[in-house]
């Protein structure tokens, strides 16, 4: 999960949807758990859906991590 704090306008919908993950510090400064517990996934999804400026981006738990493959070694061609 990533929250774009530049986009966030402090509407607070995320705080209501997932209070264990999002909270206000003072009147407008949003604080959030960068690595929320797996058990809060549904609440975090609701918070992202409720955000009127779409400041919360989620990664899909079912997406495989990108694989890193080594490039094939370059083999010089034989010159005849």
25 DSSP β-pair partners: 29
Q: What is the CATH number of the domain that holds 45?
A: 3.30.70.20
pLDDT digits (tens, 9 = 90+) for 15-74: 999 999 999 988 778 999 989 999 999 999 999 999 999 999 997 654 444 445 555 555
The predicted model scores a pTM of 0.69
- Say if 18 falls within a structural domain: yes
Domain residue limits at 48: 2-57
According to DSSP, the residues that pair with 23 across neighbouring strands are 31
In angstroms, the CA 47 to CA 55 distance is 10
The token pair that represents 35 in the structure block: 């690595």
Q: Please indicate, yes or no, if residue 42 is contained in any of the structural domains.
A: yes
Does a structural domain hold residue 32? Answer: yes
Tokens of 14: 């995320």
């Amino acid at each position: 999960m990533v929250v774009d704090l530049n986009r966030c306008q402090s509407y607070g919908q995320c705080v209501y949807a997932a209070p264990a993950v999002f909270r206000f510090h003072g009147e407008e400064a949003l604080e959030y758990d960068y690595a929320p517990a797996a058990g809060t996934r549904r609440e975090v999804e609701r918070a992202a859906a409720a955000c009127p400026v779409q400041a919360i981006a989620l990664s899909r738990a079912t997406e495989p991590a990108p694989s890193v493959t080594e490039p094939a070694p370059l083999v010089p061609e034989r010159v005849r």
